[in-house]
Amino acid sequence: MPIFEYRCRECGRVFEELVTGDRNKTLPCPSCNSRETEKLMSAIGAISMGKSADSSCGSACSHSHSCGASGGGCCPHAG
């Protein structure tokens, strides 16, 4: 079940809501109870799993890195 972020057009409050069922329904503002709310676009992070500059560390990396990454690919912080 996704959590969406909304902004009230009346009072400006930004709030999050766990949405089940109809994801397009209008939700009331928890501060002023206005139905004039809009769903905001959320930024998501991306993780790159490309090869690192250290080609000696292949896809079966077993090194222990300070960032906690191991196995399945090289840690970008290795070096």
Segment 21-67, tens digit of pLDDT? 887 888 999 999 999 999 998 666 555 565 554 444 445 555 555 55
Beta strands in 1-79 (DSSP E): 3-8, 14-18, 37-39
Highest-confidence segment of 8-12, 39-43, 52-56, 73-77: 8-12
Pairwise pLDDT comparison (44 vs 77), residue with the higher score: 44
- Whether residue 2 is predicted with pLDDT greater than 90 in this model: the reply is no
Q: Quote the pTM value.
A: 0.50
CA-to-CA dists, residue 29 to 4, 24, 42, 46, angstroms: 13, 15, 18, 31
Q: Quick one: pLDDT at residue 68?
A: 53
